[in-house]
A and B are shown apart, each in its own frame.
Chain A
Amino acid sequence: MAIEGQIALTVLMGALLVGVAVWLTRLEDWRSYTPLAGGAGGAIGDESAHVHEEKPAGIIRWLTTVDHKDIGILYGTYALIAFVWGGLAAVLMRAELATASLSLLNNTQVYNALLTSHGITMLFLFGTPILAAFSNYFIPLLIDADDMAFPRINAIAFWLLPPGAILIWAGFFVAPFTEAMTTGAATSWTMYPPLSVEQTNPSVDLMLLGLHLTGVSATMGAINFIATIFSERGEDVGWSNLDIFSWTVLTQSGLILFAFPLLGSAIIMLLLDRNFSTVFFAAEGGGTILWQHLFWFFGHPEVYILVLPPMGIVSYVLPKFSGRKLFGFKFVVYSTLAIGVLSFGVWAHHMFTTGIDPRLRASFMAVSLAIAIPSAVKTFNWITTLWNGSLRLNTPMLFCIGFISNFIIGGVTGVFLAAIPIDLVLHDTYYVVGHFHYVVMGAIAFAGFAGIYYWYPMYTGRMYQRTLAKWHFWLSMIGTNLTFFAMIILGYAGFTRRYATYDGLTVGPVEVITAMHQAATLGAFLLLIGQIIWVWNMVSSWIDGPKVEDGDPWNLAETNMKSREWAWFERKLDTTIATDGGAEEEPLADGGEPTESDES
C-alpha cells in the first residue's frame, strides 16, 4: 500500500473516533447520573437498600459500575489475570533454563519476548492494579468517605487497563497470523534504545501504546486518591488519626503523579523515533543515555510506587495479630514521606556502568545509601511490634512475617548494589535479578497475599480454607527463597541476566551454574504449585466457603484492634439479616460468583 493510502486510512480512523465521541455525547445525558453512594461509613440501612435497586444485574452491573468496592473487585480480577499471564511466562522461561541449550522454546527471540512480557506485565498490569484494588475497596471505608472523590474518573481509569493489556500482549496473539510480526516485543522492560528503536517488529509499537494507556490510568487513579484522601475524609478522621495504609497510598499517588507522565512522554518520543525518524534517542540526537535518564527517573520511583502500599498493608495488618499497636506509628509515616522524596534522587544507580560522570555517580551512591535508612526504620518498627506482641500465626500474619524477612534480604542486597565498586562487578548479572525479586515477589506479592487473606471475609462474605492457605504460604516462602537465592549465587558466579541458553560456557564454575539454574527452576515450580492452590482456594471458597456471620471474624475486639472497616462490615451484616431475613442464596453475578458486596 502506498503512503497516500496509509494517510487516507489514518484520516478515516481519526474521523471515526471523533464520530464515536460525538455519538457518545448524544447517546445519554451523562450529567443526569449521580454516583452511587457506596454505603460506606454512615451510609447504611435505607441508603444501601436504595443502592441495590439502582445497580443493574449481571454483567451490565460490572460494566457500568462506579462504586469504589466494585471497581476494587474489578482491579483485583484484572490483576489476577495478569498475574497468571506473567507467571506462566516466568514458568516457561525457567523451564527453558533447566537445560543449558535451547530445548523448549522455538528460538531465543521467543525467550526474549517472554522476558519482556513478564517484566512489563508484572510491574504495570499486576503490581500497580493489585494495589489499586486494595486502595479502591478500602480507603473510602478507612477514611469514612462515601466513595472516591471522582467515581466516574475512577471507572474510566480502570477501563483503560484492559485495552492496555491487549495491546501489550498483542504481539503474541497476532504474530501467528502475519508475516510482519515475528513474536511479542523483545525489548526487555527497560526498552533501551538503540535496540528498542531498531527492532522493526510492530508489536513493539503496540506495546508502547498499551503502556501509555496504563500510565494514563495510573495517573488518573492517583489524582483521585489524592483528592479523596484530602477532601473526602469523614468528620472524625483527621490527619493525626489517618491510618497507615492511606498514608502510604497518598505518598504513592504523589510519586505516580511525578513519575508516570514522564514515562508517557518518553514513550511518545520512542514511538516517534521508531516511526517518524526523529532522533531523540539516536546517537546524532539526544543520545541513548537520554533514554536511560528519563526511564530511570520514572523507573526508580516506580519501584517505590510498588512497595509503599504493601508496606502500608503490612504496617496495618501486622499489629492486628500481634495484639499491640504499631510501634512508633509516627516514624513509620515519616519514613514513608522520606522515601517518597528521596526516591527521585537515586535513579542513576541504575546507570553506574554507563560511563556517566564519576562525580555524579558518587552523589547518586550517597543518596541511594541514604534511602536505605527510612526502609530500615520501618523494618525496625515492625520487628519491635512483633517483639512485644503475642502473635497469632494465621495466614495473613504468616505472609506479613514472610514479607519482613524477604524484605530484609532484598534490602540488604540492594544496599550492596548501591555501592559503586560492587555494582561494577554485579551489574547485569543474576544478582540484580535476585535482589529485586526478593523485593517484588518476596515482599510486594506477599503483602498482597496478606491483604487478600485478611480482608477475604469482608469482600466475599465467606471464609477461605485455612489448610490450603497455609500450603500456599509455605510453598511460596520456600519457592521464593530457593529461586532467588540461587539467582544471587548465579550473580556471584558471574552469570549475566537475560540469556536463554548457557551451553558452551568455558569460564566460571560451570557445574555450579547449572545446579543453580536447576535449583531456581525447581523453586519456580514450587511457586507455581503454591499459586495454583491459592487460586483454587480463592475461587472455590468464594463460591461455597462457610458464610461469615460475625462482623469481627478475626476477633480483633479482644485486643482492641477492631478498625473502621470491620465496623462497617458489621453494620452491613446486620442490615443484610434485617432486610432479607437470611435468604438462602444470593443471585449469581457473572462468573458464577455470588455477588460479594451490597447484598443488602
Chain B
Amino acid sequence: MSTLSSRAISGRRAVLVIYATIVALAALFGALVGLVLPGKENAPEMAGFGPFVFEITPLNFAVYGAVNVGLLLGVLLLLMAAVSKKYPNA
C-alpha cells in the first residue's frame, strides 16, 4: 500500500459548512434556553438589548442566538477572508 490520499475538497467550502453548523447550533441552543428560562424562579418576561426587546419564547431565542452568533462569526469570517486575500503566502 502506498497512497492514502482521499479526494480533496475545497477549504472554503469546509469552512462555510463549519460556520453554518455553528450558527445552527446557536439557534438550537437559543431555542433550548428559551425553553428553560421561563421555568426558572423570578425569570424576566422580556429579553434582548437596546431597541430589540422580545418575549422569551423558544422561537424568539432561536432567532436571537442565530443572528448574534451569525453576525459575530460572520464578521470574523469576512475579516479572515480579507486578511488571507491580502497575504496569500503568509
Residues in A lying within 8 Å of B, measured CB to CB:
322-323, 327-328, 380, 383-394, 401, 404-405, 408-409, 463, 466, 481, 485, 488-489, 492-494, 507-509, 512, 546, 548-550, 553-555, 558
- Kindly identify which residue among B25, B36, B87 contacts A512, using a CB–CB cutoff of 8 Å: B36
Supply 11 further A-B pairs (C-beta < 8 A) apart from A383-B80, A508-B39. Answer: A388-B84, A392-B6, A392-B7, A463-B1, A488-B29, A492-B37, A548-B1, A550-B2, A550-B3, A555-B4, A558-B5
B53 within 8 A of A: no
Residues in B lying within 8 Å of A, measured CB to CB:
1-12, 14-15, 18, 21-22, 25, 29, 32-33, 35-37, 39-41, 76-77, 80-81, 83-84, 87-88, 90
Closest 7 CB pairs of A and B: A509-B39, A389-B11, A493-B36, A390-B8, A386-B11, A550-B2, A384-B84
- Bound together, the chains give a CA A328 to CA B90 distance in angstroms of 5
A323–B8 touching, CB < 8 Å? yes
Please list 22 pairs of residues, one from A and one from B, whose beta carbons are closer than 8 Å in the complex, sorted by A's number: A323-B8, A327-B84, A327-B90, A380-B83, A385-B11, A387-B81, A391-B14, A394-B6, A401-B14, A401-B18, A405-B18, A405-B21, A405-B22, A466-B4, A488-B29, A489-B29, A492-B32, A493-B36, A493-B39, A494-B40, A509-B35, A512-B39
Given the interface contacts A550-B1, A550-B2, does A387 sit within 8 Å of B15 by beta carbon?
Answer: yes
A485–B2 touching, CB < 8 Å? no
Residues of B within 8 A of A489 (CB): 29, 32-33, 36
Which of B12, B32, B87 is the most central at the interface, judged by chain A CB atoms within 10 Å of its CB? B32
Q: Output the nearest chain B residue to A558 by Cβ-Cβ distance.
A: B5
- Bound together, the chains give a CA A539 to CA B11 distance in angstroms of 33
- Bound together, the chains give a CA A466 to CA B1 distance in angstroms of 13
- Kindly identify which residue among A328, A394, A404, A485 contacts B18, using a CB–CB cutoff of 8 Å: A404
- Bound together, the chains give a CA A554 to CA B11 distance in angstroms of 18
- Bound together, the chains give a CA A558 to CA B2 distance in angstroms of 13
B84–A390 touching, CB < 8 Å? no
Which of B25, B39, B88 is the most central at the interface, judged by chain A CB atoms within 10 Å of its CB? B39
B6–A408 touching, CB < 8 Å? no
Residues of B within 8 A of A393 (CB): 6, 9
Residues of B within 8 A of A394 (CB): 4, 6
- Kindly identify which residue among B11, B18, B41, B80 contacts A322, using a CB–CB cutoff of 8 Å: B11
Residues of A within 8 A of B81 (CB): 387
Q: Output the nearest chain A residue to B77 by Cβ-Cβ distance.
A: A383
Q: Output the nearest chain B residue to A389 by Cβ-Cβ distance.
A: B11
Which of A383, A394, A489 is the most central at the interface, judged by chain B CB atoms within 10 Å of its CB? A383
- Bound together, the chains give a CA A328 to CA B39 distance in angstroms of 47
B36–A386 touching, CB < 8 Å? no
A391–B40 touching, CB < 8 Å? no
B22–A408 touching, CB < 8 Å? yes
Q: How far is the CB of A576 from chain B (nearest CB, A)?
A: 16
B83–A390 touching, CB < 8 Å? no
- Bound together, the chains give a CA A485 to CA B33 distance in angstroms of 11
Residues of A within 8 A of B14 (CB): 386, 391, 401
- Bound together, the chains give a CA A501 to CA B9 distance in angstroms of 47
B1–A549 touching, CB < 8 Å? yes
- Bound together, the chains give a CA A405 to CA B15 distance in angstroms of 10
- Bound together, the chains give a CA A387 to CA B15 distance in angstroms of 6
Residues of A within 8 A of B7 (CB): 392
Residues of A within 8 A of B80 (CB): 380, 383-384, 387
Q: How far is the CB of B65 from chain A (nearest CB, A)?
A: 12
B84–A553 touching, CB < 8 Å? no
Q: Output the nearest chain A residue to B73 by Cβ-Cβ distance.
A: A408
Q: Output the nearest chain A residue to B1 by Cβ-Cβ distance.
A: A546
Q: Output the nearest chain A residue to B84 by Cβ-Cβ distance.
A: A384
Q: Output the nearest chain B residue to A322 by Cβ-Cβ distance.
A: B11
- Bound together, the chains give a CA A454 to CA B16 distance in angstroms of 25
- Bound together, the chains give a CA A388 to CA B11 distance in angstroms of 6
Residues of A within 8 A of B37 (CB): 492
Residues of A within 8 A of B87 (CB): 328
Residues of A within 8 A of B25 (CB): 409, 481, 485
Q: Output the nearest chain B residue to A385 by Cβ-Cβ distance.
A: B11
- Kindly identify which residue among B4, B8, B15, B40 contacts A509, using a CB–CB cutoff of 8 Å: B40
- Bound together, the chains give a CA A508 to CA B40 distance in angstroms of 5
Residues of A within 8 A of B15 (CB): 383, 386-387
Residues of A within 8 A of B21 (CB): 405
Q: Output the nearest chain A residue to B79 by Cβ-Cβ distance.
A: A380
A554–B8 touching, CB < 8 Å? no
- Bound together, the chains give a CA A550 to CA B8 distance in angstroms of 21
B88–A388 touching, CB < 8 Å? yes
A391–B11 touching, CB < 8 Å? yes
- Kindly identify which residue among A383, A391, A408, A546 contacts B10, using a CB–CB cutoff of 8 Å: A391
